[in-house]
Amino acid sequence: MSSSTGTGFLGRSSSSNSNMRGLVQFIADLRNARARELEEKRINKELANIRQKFKDGSLSGYHKKKYVCKLLYIYILGWNVDFGHLEAVNLISATKYSEKQIGYLAMTLFLHEKHELLHLVVNSIRKDLMDHNELFNCLALHAIANVGGKEMGEALSPEVHRLLISPTSKAFVKKKAALTLLRLYRKNPDIVQAQWAERIISIMDDTDLGVALSVTSLVMALAQDNTEQYKGAYVKAAARLKRILIDGEFSQDYLYYKVPCPWIQVKLLRLLQYFPPSEDSHVRSMIRESLQKILNLAVESQKNVQQNNAQNAVLFEAINLIIHLDTEHDLMKQVSQRLGRFIQSRETNVRYLGLEAMTHLAARTDTLEPIKQHQDVIIGSLKDRDISVRRKGLDLLYSMCDTSNAQQIVAELLHYLQNADFAIREEMVLKIAILTEKYATDVQWYVDISLRLIAMAGDHVSDEVWQRVTQIVTNNEELQVYAAQNILQYCKQDHCHETLVKIGAYILGEFGHLIAEERGSSPIEQFLALQGKLPACSSSTRAMILSCFIKFVNLFPEIKPQLVNVFHVYSHALDAELQQRACEFLAIASLPTDDLLRTVCDEMPPFPERESALLSRLHQKHANTSDKRTWIVGGKDANADSAELSLAKKASLRRTFSTKTGPANGGAAPAAGATNGSSSANDLAGLDMNNIGPAEAKVIKAPNLASAAHLSPGWEKGFNRLLLRADGILFEDGQIQVGVRAEYRGQMAAIILYFTNKTPAVIGSFTTTLDLDPSERANLSWDVKSMPETTIYQGAQTQQVVVFEAKRVFEKAPTVRISYLAGALQALTLKLPVVIHKFMDQAELSADDFFKRWKQIGGAPREAQRIFGLSGPKDGEREITESFIRQVLEGFRWGLLYNVDPNSKNFVGASVVHTSEGGKFGCLMRLEPNYGTQMVRLTIRATDETVPPVLLKMMEERLSQGVSIRPERYEPPTASDITESFRNIMVR
């Protein structure tokens, strides 16, 4: 009795509690509604008051600021304050900082880049950018960065650039200007003009590390899209990295937990990866020294978490750079050993970074053996508790796969696919499909894995995967019978995924007749297997099955009644596509003759060769990152060609399968030891059935300011003088003096360029860039042995040593671009006096030997001859004399032969041209002057036909200038300019 009462009491109590909770909630809702009503009433009252205050027009600046602040608060609460937008915009024009600050704050919150009021503030922002008040500059820069769209960027970007490069701008203004320009560039790349490149790069040498960091971020974004235009940043980054790590050029403010400037280190290391490795030994040495320092500093793990994180950030970026360079074998060995420890670390972040770096290593290295040693650990990462680590493990397995381990890796991936996260299943399916095709050496293995993959993955199989399978089967006869047998067995199952039904409809329609005589594969059994799937399939799959059935009508006349019956049923379908197909197929099947039927159902031709749809879809998953990748997930064969990076790789659809059976079938395994650079990747190509390639984008190429097309005025004087001399002044003006000293030995030349600061101030960000016409780069190479200092003090001098090698005969001389900051950016482009005749050595021949070799060489094409005289508009002031000719010939390094020519006034010479790849070429010269008519006939013969035209052209240009009748007064350089400089160089 009591028990019953207690139970009833508890039941009533539970119901009562439920009613009570509902009542409390109802009361709370009433209170919230009442509060909202009161809030709305109060806000409307306040907005009406503010609107009236603004209408009166008698508000002071302080009160305007106060009421705009109220509007900001109301706006943040979610209420509409459109009437106050214009008042906030007007506040920007205030003279007081506090009022202007609120105006800019309101503008960034109220307006967007396409707002109709935005054009009203452009002039006010421009005025603040040009103001001498740095705080006003910063407010304007903030507004541009947060709101500025294309129109505002185009109008104000020149002023932002001016603040960035101005020598009077404070460091904090330069930082904000650089980041503002970066934001504008990301919105609209056309905003940054090509001619700004050199000036922006020069600021990477700024003494303030904060400015250097901001500008490096800007240069990183620009260099990704314009590598050639910003190639000067490579040396800047290498030098700055060395100054921080080796020379210790940083303030204590930038020492983060004993790690110097980790943020700029990471950015400089990343920036170096956007360019191909430098060929200059001095630059490579600087980078190698910095990287070794980073590796040495990271030997021991630190207990401090912040220090460990900063150190690891720098270390892993350094590892990526070492892998990118792919030339530092000692460093690569250290990297391989460390990565093996990193992927087994207890820290999730370290495991993630270790797997990513090892994936990069697999994309570059020639052999995968060091990575294969950790294969079990990498496979285990697929079961890591963190999904990002599992993704990286999948990437690494995909990249490290080759013919020796393909079947094992594919089997592990298929096993893991059953329990894999939905987020990575589609990507895993794509990678398994690509690996299966790329490394398949056996018919049965390829078909078994492909169909098993589709059966397991189900809805995660993209159309590209099953379409690719049908393409491969169609294009390879040895696959067709086995594929038809297997797909029929899948279709017979009660639970068969719709994607397999699509493959079955296509393959059985094309190749079902090949297995019709086998047991269990008769025509009626093929028909029943597909017919049973019709009710549960989508409209598109039913259409494919109907197309298969019309082919069955042609192939299997014995089951025509059953097929026609299906067409009758679907001729009344509600779906227009199915109804039309069924009616058309019924009409074709009912014709009195089979001529049209055989024509319509003719065998499908092989698919044409096109780019792989699988690769395109796979790479799209990695294409939406903020920074462009310098490598792609895949082996070295996938990264060796830039075409693969741009998804334009083309290869054959034809696959060649060996007659051997793989381990899965009891046969021998594929040969081990295959390198990562095998050509098997070229076998992967496909047909993107739904994608048409994008139109070719119009690329505007920036001018190469270091080329001969942009030579500075006055370059000829020094160049022409140094054509005949080994040392002297190449160029001089009121700010800088450029001198040259050269030494030639055979095909090698050591050139010392020295630069003297003639200004009363310090020259900063001094940079030199060598360049050569692309047509000559295979003929002449150079190696920079030392770089000039970036800072040259008043009256000081710095130098650069370059070693040139003449590989073959060349015609065009190299150029050097010199840029520096002396108040503003100053730049010179000069032609270096490195020409082919400098690589000549004088030869001595007797008269008999000379004429004998002259006849042996013969005439054209090994002979070049020209008759010429003085050139230029002032011929009356210049003349050709015997001493002048002799001086030119000796300057061109001809060995003059006396008593050889019957006419004593003629000049005869012999020399040998040295090249490293072309060899040595003997050269003979005969010059016949006529001093009366001031004409010259010059004939040159050589054992190689490329030599005479080049020598003849250069000698004609020099001789046709003649010598001045009234020579200019020549003042030799002072000892401090040249003699002492050369002495210092020789001492070094």
Please enumerate, by residue number, every residue annotated as part of a binding site. 21-22, 53, 62, 66-70
Transcribe 679-717 into DSSP letters. GGGGG-----TT--PPPPPP--PPP-TTSGGGPPTTHHH
Longest dimension (CA), the chain: 150
Q: Tell me which residue of 930, 872, 875 sits closest to 906, measured CA to CA.
A: 930
Contact of 603 with 511, CB cutoff 8 Å: no
**Hey, which residues does 934 pair with through a beta bridge?**
none
Cis amide leading into 861 (omega within 30): yes
**Cβ-Cβ contacts under 8 Å for 30 (sequence gap 6 or more):** none
Distance CA 752, CA 828 (A): 18
Distance CA 84, CA 106 (A): 9
Distance CA 977, CA 421 (A): 73
Q: Tell me which residue of 744, 771, 776 sits closest to 831, measured CA to CA.
A: 771
What are the E-state strand segments in 693-843?
727-732, 736-745, 748-757, 764-771, 780-786, 797-806, 815-822, 824-831, 840-842
- CA quadruple 715, 718, 722, 725: dihedral, nearest 10: 180
Contact of 397 with 420, CB cutoff 8 Å: no
Contact of 474 with 462, CB cutoff 8 Å: no
Contact of 104 with 118, CB cutoff 8 Å: no
Q: Specify burial of residue 296 (Cβ count, 10 A radius: 0-12, 13-18, 19+).
A: exposed
Transcribe 227-286 into DSSP letters. TTTTTTHHHHHHHHHHHHHTS----GGGEETTEE-HHHHHHHHHHHTTSPPP--HHHHHH
Q: Cα dist. 462→394, 454, 458, 691 in Å?
A: 18, 10, 9, 14
Q: Cα dist. 959→6, 865, 936 in Å?
A: 126, 14, 9
**Cβ-Cβ contacts under 8 Å for 665 (sequence gap 6 or more):** 442, 444, 445
Q: Specify burial of residue 228 (Cβ count, 10 A radius: 0-12, 13-18, 19+).
A: exposed
Q: Give the single-character DSSP code of 514.
A: G
Instruction: Please report how the helices 539-555 and 560-570 are oriented relative to each other, as an axis angle in degrees rounded to 10.
Output: 150
Contact of 967 with 942, CB cutoff 8 Å: no
**Hey, which residues does 820 pair with through a beta bridge?**
826
Q: Tell me which residue of 488, 467, 504 sits closest to 653, measured CA to CA.
A: 467
Structure tokens at 98: 């506090």
Per-residue three-class SS string for 869-903? ECCCCCHHHEECCHHHHHHHHHHCCCEEECCCCCC
Contact of 381 with 389, CB cutoff 8 Å: yes
Cα 106–Cα 111–Cα 115 angle in degrees, nearest 5: 155
